[in-house]
Structure 1
């Protein structure tokens, strides 16, 4: 298969690109940086250096099997998300042969659309009624993807990502190392829904290869078991030599509010339809490994 990943140098896109290459596929990776382009090429990923909203990758559309949108940072806005999706759709309409199957389009959303709830379990197919403020716009984009008339749309909702440089846990790892303290926005008693970057990458491979089955569906991506936030913070403090001391603080941004949410998610579609099963050691059980790996990136 031939796959284009938009955001191929990010925490999600890079492991996904590596996994697809290992699975035997031809992978093109969009990135804005020449330095990242060298990193991609070293992994046998063909770099395309440009902004994601660009015409520089559109010549690939006629022969592609799938496009994966795995953008992060400033690229995540409702306007940009819609513009990129429709750019792919427009190119597919103009450039692909009339007999070609629908181009698979995998959109990366996130688990926070389920909202903050410490009592009710949710799954892939639970109706979305109260997303956290940071992502109130995402459900509309998810529906636009899975109901698209031109693209074979698929949505994945990763939970809190760990491993390979720490991802969403990078700020608290950095704080423990450089500031000598461990704090987290929120309140005690929270639960963490987590997934290792490698296990998430495996799901992208399975969604890409199984697009005929996965099309029109939304997949929550999470480990089987939830992690205890208090235990995570205490163990991190111990590993960092801070005597197990930690504290919660009041969130100061909508992003920090999202970090403090609890989502009691029990996904099933990835396992039932695609045979996906997370295999990496959990965040807390492997925390000494993951913290050491983060320190090696400094």
Structure 2
């Protein structure tokens, strides 16, 4: 396959690009600078110089199999990127070409904050956290499109390698006291960067079976925030830890407990076509 990753130098995009290369695919990555292009080239990812608003990546759509969008953090940016993709596909791809697969990266925060409800791949989104309240509409725009083969992946809190949204927590621990946003009793839904990368490979390779699907990308169990803080104090040498209330929309999202469970047997990315149909 030929795959383009938008956001190829990021916490999500770079591991995914590397995993696709190792799986034998031709992988292009958008790079905003020469230094980032060199990072991609060193990992055998073909760099495309430009940013999301440039036209540098659009000609590739003529022969691509898959686009993985792992960068936009705004409703206007997400819609603009998707609409430009559709327009380019209609103009550049021959009538006999199969639908281009478009994999959009969302997140489990769309399920909101609850310490009692358990959410799965098929749970309707009702109360997303405010920071990402716009994402469900974008998800539906993609999975209901007839112009592309749309798939949505909802990663949980990313950890591993250089990726972590908990950097402020680790920094505070290094300074002597771990400061955590939220209240006692919370839990984090998490996924390692390499496991998420492996999922993107499987989704891309089985995308003909997954059009219109929304997939939760998370470990099979959540992690206790209290346990994490106790262990962090132990290994970091911090004197203690404490909680504080969120002060902005991002911190409100960070303190959310989202109890997600990917449905066993529902994700067909590891199945062959015949086995998938038999289910």
TM value normalised by structure 2: 0.94
The SS at the match of 2:97 is coil
* Cα pair 1:124 1:269 within 8 Å, conserved: no
Query: Residue 274 of structure 2 aligns with which residue?
Result: none
Residues 1:267 and 2:262 are matched in the alignment: yes
In structure 1, the partner of 2:61 is 61
Moved over 4 A (4+): none
Tell me how far 1:274 sits from its aligned partner. Answer: 1.3
Task: Measure, in 2, the Cα distance between the counterparts of 1:107 and 1:213.
Answer: 16
1:59 offset after TM fit, Å? 1.2
CA shift for structure 1 position 51: 1.2
Q: What do the CA deviations read for 1:249-280 (whole angstroms, capped 9, x no partner)?
A: 1111100000000011111278631139xxxx
Deviation of 1:213 after TM superposition, in Å, equals 0.8
Aligned pair partner of 2:234 in 238, 243, 248: 238
- May I ask how many residue pairs the two structures share in their alignment? 271
Unaligned runs of 5+ in 2: 272-279
Partner-residue secondary structure (3-state), 1:107? strand
Greater CA drift, 165-174 or 250-259? 165-174
Map of 2:140 onto structure 1: 143
> Contact between 1:203 and 1:270, CA under 8 Å: does it hold in 2?
no
What are the superposed Cα offsets for residues 224-273 of structure 1, whole Å, 9 maximum, x if unpaired?
11110001011111111114x21111111100000000011111278631
Instruction: Give the counterpart of 2:177 among 181, 193, 212.
Output: 181
CA distance in 2, matches of 1:28, 1:115: 34
Counterpart in the other structure of 2:221: 225
Deviations 1:178-200 (A, max 9, x none): x2221111100001110000000
Q: Counterpart in 2 of 1:285? A: none
Cα offset, 1:108, TM superposition: 0.3
SS in 2 for 1:167: coil
State which of 178, 183, 188 in structure 2 corresponds to 1:192: 188
Residue 166 of structure 1 deviates from its aligned partner by 3.4
User: Match of 1:207?
Assistant: 203
Aligned CA distance change for structure 1 residues 270 and 98 (closer, same or farther; 3 Å):
farther
Listed as ranges, the gaps of 5+ residues in structure 1 are: 277-298
Q: 1:31, 1:180 → 2: CA distance?
A: 38
In the alignment, what sits opposite 1:46? Answer: 46
Secondary structure of the corresponding residue to residue 110 of structure 2: helix
Residue 35 (1) aligns with residue 35 (2)? yes
Deviation at 1:205, TM superposition (A): 0.3
Cα pair 2:105 2:152 within 8 Å, conserved: yes
RMSD after superposition: 1.3
Q: How far does the alpha carbon of each residue in 1:25-77 deviate from its partner, in whole angstroms, 9 at most, with x for none?
A: 01000121221111110000011121112211111111100000000xxx411
Q: 2:154 aligns with which of 157, 182, 196?
A: 157
